[in-house]
Amino acid sequence: MRGPDHPRAMNITLALAGTLLLQSQSNEAANLQELVLQGCLGTLGPEHPRTLKVMDALGEGRGQQGRLQESIDLHQKAIDGMRTHLPETDPAIFHALERLGITLWYCFRFEEAIEHHEKAVSGLKDLLGDNDLKTLIAMESLARTYRDRGTELLANNEELGYHLLEKAERNMVFVLEQRTRQLGDKQPYTGLAQLHHGTIKGAHGELEEGESLLGSLIPMAVDHLGGDHLGVMAGKNELALILTKQEQFIEAEDILLDISRPDNYRKSSTATGAHPDRCDALWSLLDCYQKQKSIDDGLRTRDELEAVVLGIRRGKKTVRTSDKFWQKIQDKRAQLQAIRNERLIEYSESD
């Protein structure tokens, strides 16, 4: 009789975990991945190729749970082991580099994420070819990171910011064309590429086109995946960002209040809903309030965001995974209070 440590049982368990991750049921998925990893450690040892691949898979699960430092540690340990114990022709190390890049992207460590994504894309192109569906996944992750680093740079280095946005556009157009050709225009992965293309359009200032793309795709995504799917809520967040830039504040605020509710994230995080994607939604809501000069709402949202980040950090105020974002939250308090002070001065002078 085959037990849970039998290779076939492990394969079935990992396949189920992968399906659960796609459904944004990250907690249950990571529990299954942890079970398989413990089985591999007990029967195969820590340096076996299968153990290393399962370790990398659990790193992805922990990342989707918002347990970012654990995710980074698991990915890095798996990569270090793969470099020694896997043949150069095994693409697993490049998949692991891409997944580590995603966790670093969650931590706003965009430059490090780009470095890992570029290595992953280059390696997968050499092993599998430019058009392979797994290569396209890595290219999509790289395009998303180019987009966010480019957006970040626009304030201080506009030339480099737009250069990265153009690289994001080229990568994403290629991914979209290949998925449309290989999978068809109605397949979910093609829809995901269309959504990311819309977000790049919005970041590049093509707001009407970005709004049109996202506005048409999100209802279909809700029908297929549900309104509380992490990917669907991320798409709604991107749409709200575009609406905020267009000063459609009421519409943006309605979306952001909905997707920032903690109960949306309890399948993927702690019982309190402490998850990086919820942080993104609250950050976007904070930006929406700041642009409206709704200072009280902004400060309240900032405090709520700080509490969520502390929940992800397990109460620690200094954790390298999110120090950059933590500082942005602290800076935001000063910005909002400065706006309030300016208003008080204006009111006093008008009297």
Enumerate the domain spans of the chain. 289-313+321-351
Smallest Cα–Cα separation from 66: which of 311, 332, 351, 317? 311
Give the pair of three-digit tokens for residue 320.
Answer: 């390298």
pLDDT at 289: 96
The C-alpha atoms of residue 172 and residue 174 are separated, in whole angstroms, by 5
DSSP 8-state class, residue 5 = T
- pLDDT tens, 158-202? 999 999 999 999 999 999 999 999 999 989 899 999 999 999 999
The residue among 168, 150, 147 whose CA lies nearest residue 159 is 150
Q: What are the structure tokens assigned to 322, written together?
A: 């999110």
What residue spans of the chain are helical by DSSP H?
7-22, 26-43, 49-65, 68-85, 92-106, 110-128, 133-153, 158-183, 188-203, 207-225, 230-245, 249-259, 276-292, 295-312, 323-350
How many Å apart are CA 350 and CA 347, to the nearest integer?
A: 5
Q: For residue 274, what pLDDT is reported?
A: 83
Say what the alpha-carbon torsion angle 246, 235, 150, 184 is, to the nearest 10 degrees.
-120
Q: What is the pTM of this model?
A: 0.89
In the block, residue with structure tokens 């009789």: 1
Residue 86 carries which DSSP code?
S
Which residue reads 């300016």 in tokens?
A: 342
User: Tell me, what's the pLDDT at 1?
Assistant: 37
Any idea which residue has 């007990």 for tokens?
42
Contact 274, 311 (CB under 8 A): yes
Classify residue 169 as left (phi > 0), alpha (psi -120 to 50) or beta: alpha
pLDDT of residue 4: 62
Give me the residue label for tokens 């290595």: 119
pLDDT under 50 in the chain at which residues? 1
